[in-house]
Amino acid sequence: MSKVEVDQIDPQSGTTLTLGTSGDTIVVPSGVTFNSSAATNTLPSSVVTTTGTQTLTNKSIVATQLTGTITPSDDTVTLAKMAPGTDGNIISYDASGNPVAVATGSAAQVLTSAGAGAPPTFATATVPDNAITLAKMASGTDGNIISYDTSGNPVAVATGSDGQVLTSAGAGAVPTFETLPASDTGLTSQQVFTSSGTWNKPSGITLIKVYVTGGGGGGGFSGATNYYSGGGGAGGGTAIEIIDVSSVSSATVTIGNGGTAGAHDTYVSSGGTSSFASYCSATGGGGGNYGGAIASQAIGGVGSNGQINLHGNAAKGGSDNDGSFKETSGTGGGSFWGGAGCGDHSADGHAGYNGGGGGGGQNFNQGSTGQSGGAGGAGIVVVEEYK
């Protein structure tokens, strides 16, 4: 074996130096250091392939020396092998299946799917409409209800006592359960007049409703002939009116008298007119007729200037019975309040009340003395007082 000892081998020409001939083997003995750290080493393209098992120990390989696809074994890629990313990002995949980074969300946001074809994103969590059932709500105090404060936050309204009602406190405050105060409006009092006088407005009254009823007519005399019957007196009319008394302090009240009862020596009379100052009035009912052929019905009075004006009831007429049958005398006519006097048999007629007409007399066997009618009822004025 020949041995050549030199410090450096250079190519005779050009820049390429060839060691050996094809098929030769160049051996570097054990213990020899082959230092090519400052040089560029080009390995054959078949050094690392995708077939078989390639074992490289303490070797550095550039990308051009790798051929085919290298597939790591399962469970071999650790976090340390992954490229650095942005704090809080997570890895997803786009529509092409390529890995993409999902940007870091804000505090308390949740990862929300965008559906197929798009990576998810971090978004503020929302609750779908109609998703909160009673079972999902936190337990509360029996009887509390939910309202909102001035910031729009839900708050509990404390349970009230039995009978209290939920009362608004206006804008800027939560409603509360409160006891209703005693009513200080509406109908608070009334005055009733059965004789003439003066209505004086109580303190705080602003509105009144007035009922004015005329007097009832007197019942008719039976007549001086046996079996004759007198007619009843008619009822007084009624006027009803609502009056604003904000600027009124008093009003004159006039009560119509009841009609005089008919008697052997006394003519029957109609009822008198009642009034409430100049606001409204009502005439009295007509007097009952004398028994006999002229004992026709008496006509009731009527209201005037009221918002409602009512007639009193007409009365039943008398008769000139020849004695072939028994009968009672004419009944008086009632007013708005009723109160008519009834007739009778072989007796004086009965008096009326509250604007009602008196009943007629009935002569059964009194001869020329006959039977008197009943007096008509005096009128009445009722004043309802409102705040």
Summarised one tens digit per residue, pLDDT across range 312-321 is 999 887 777 7
Q: What's the structural domain count of the chain?
A: 2
pLDDT at residue 311 in the model: 97
**Mean pLDDT, range 138-144, rounded to an integer:** 90
pLDDT band of residue 50 (cuts 50, 70, 90) is: low
**Mean pLDDT, range 252-258, rounded to an integer:** 97
Give this prediction's pTM.
Answer: 0.55
Mean pLDDT of the chain: 85
Q: Please name which of 335, 157, 134 lies closest in space to residue 233, comparing C-alpha atoms.
A: 335
pLDDT at residue 249 in the model: 96
* Euclidean distance between CA atoms 383 and 189, whole angstroms: 9
pLDDT at residue 381 in the model: 98
Residues 342 and 200 in one domain: yes
Most confidently predicted of 56-65, 179-188, 209-218: 209-218
DSSP 3-state helix, strand, coil percentages of the chain (rounded to 5)? 0, 25, 75
Does the pLDDT of residue 152 top 80, yes or no? Answer: yes
Final residue before a domain boundary, out of 163, 181, 199: 181
> Cβ(234)–Cβ(313) under 8 Å?
yes
In a domain, 31, yes or no: no
Lowest-pLDDT range of 143-147, 181-185, 226-230: 181-185
Residues 210 and 359 in one domain: yes
Residues 332 and 271 in one domain: yes
pLDDT at residue 78 in the model: 87
Q: What percent of the chain has pLDDT over 70?
A: 86
Question: Domain limits at 170?
Answer: 147-181
In a domain, 285, yes or no: yes
Residues 245 and 172 in one domain: no
* Euclidean distance between CA atoms 17 and 257, whole angstroms: 157
Final residue before a domain boundary, out of 136, 162, 181: 181
Does the pLDDT of residue 234 top 90, yes or no? Answer: yes
Work out the angle at residue 33's Cα, subtended by the Cα atoms of residues 32 and 36, and round it to the nearest 5 degrees.
140
Lowest-pLDDT range of 60-64, 76-80, 103-107, 150-154: 60-64
The amino acid sitting at 240 is I
